[in-house]
Amino acid sequence: MTKPILKAYYNKIFFEFLVHKDDFVDAIIILPGFPSSNNEDELMQFFYENGFNVFYLRYGGSFQSKGYFLESNPSDDITQCIKYINRGKIVSLWDMEEKSFKNRDLIFLTGSFGGAIACSIVAKSNHLISRIILSAPVWDFDKHNTTYEEQNLSHLSDFVKRAYQNLYRIKFNNLINQLHKFKELSPEYYLQKLNCPLLVFYDQEDKTVSIEHTREIIKKIKKGRLIEHNLGHGLSEELIKRYWNEIEKFIKYG
C-alpha cells in the first residue's frame, strides 16, 4: 500500500517527506531542477520502500515555498532546512502532529540545475552530507552554452516567467546574472572542497547540458565516478531503477 506523503515547512522552504518511525536509516535529500514538475511521488515511494527516509525540498520562491526565486542564496536556504530536518522531528501539516525519526547518513539526489547547489552545500557544510548522486548536472553556469550547443538559459528564464507564472516568483531578468551573486555555486569554490563520494549519471547525447563538461570535471574529483547512459536528460525513476544495483552499492560503500 502506498504511504501518504507528508508535507511541512521550515521558514520559507516547503518540503515533502516519508520517514520510518522507529528505524535508524539513511536519508535521501531530493532537490529539484529548474523548472521542475514539482512531483517526485514515485521516486519518493521507491526510496522509502527500499528502507530510506526521503525528503523532497523546494527552493524559495518556487511552488509552495515562500519568497522569490533566487532572492537569497539557495545553498544557504537548503542547508538550514537540512539541519532542521536532521533533528529528527517535523510537524506534518496534515494533522499538525510531530513526526519523529532517526537519520543516519544523508545522501543528496538531484540533477541539472540542482547539481551546483548540491556541490556547494557539501563544500561548505563540513560533513553534513555523506554521498552525492547527480544526473546531468550543470557544474558551471558561466560556461554553459559557450563551448557546446546547449539549452539557452536566458531564454529559459523568459519561458519560465511566461509558462510558470504562479509556480516561480521571479524578479530578475537574467538567470546567469542572478546566479553570479552566489560565488559558492562556482566550481572554483566547491570543487576542491568536495569531501564525499560522488556518482554522476549522464546521457551521452544530452543536448540540454553537454556531457563534455562532466567528462572534464570528473577527472578533478578524487571520489567521483561517471556512468554514461541513453535515458535522456535529468533525474527519473527509470534511471534510478535501471541502475539500482550500482546506486545501492555506492550508497553502502562509496
Digit-coded pLDDT (tens) for 211-230: 999 999 999 999 999 999 99
List, for residues 166-184, the tens digit of each pLDDT value: 899 999 988 999 999 999 9
Q: How far apart are CA 27 and CA 89, in angstroms?
A: 14
* DSSP per position, 117-184: HHHHHHHHSSSS-SEEEEES----TTTTTTSS----HHHHHHHHHHH-TTTB----S-HHHHHTT-GG
Paired strand residues for 98: 91
User: What percent of the chain clears pLDDT 70, i.e. is strictly above it?
Assistant: 99
Paired strand residues for 111: 135
Average pLDDT, the chain: 94
Phi, psi of 135 (to 5 degrees): -125, 115
Domain limits of the chain? 6-253
Residue 187: its H or E element: helix 187-190
At 149, is the pLDDT very low, low, confident or very high (cuts 50, 70, 90)? confident
Q: Is the pLDDT of residue 44 over 90?
A: yes
Q: How far apart are CA 63 and CA 142, in angstroms?
A: 26
The secondary structure of 16-55, three-state, reads EEECCCCCEEEEEEECCCCCCCCCCHHHHHHHHHCCCEEE
At 142, is the pLDDT very low, low, confident or very high (cuts 50, 70, 90)? confident
- Burial of residue 85 (CB within 10 Å: 0-12, 13-18, 19+) is buried
Q: Which one, of 26, 9, 16, 29, lies nearest residue 75 by Cα?
A: 29
Q: What is the DSSP letter of 215?
A: H
Residue 137 grid coordinates: 548536472
Q: Is the pLDDT of residue 126 over 90?
A: no
Mean pLDDT of 98-116: 97
Q: How far apart are CA 12 and CA 28, in angstroms?
A: 21
Q: What is the pTM of this model?
A: 0.96
Q: How far apart are CA 141 and CA 205, in angstroms?
A: 20
At 22, is the pLDDT very low, low, confident or very high (cuts 50, 70, 90)? confident
CATH number for domain 6-253, candidates 3.10.350.10, 3.40.50.1820, 3.40.50.620, 3.40.50.300? 3.40.50.1820
Mean pLDDT of 27-55: 97
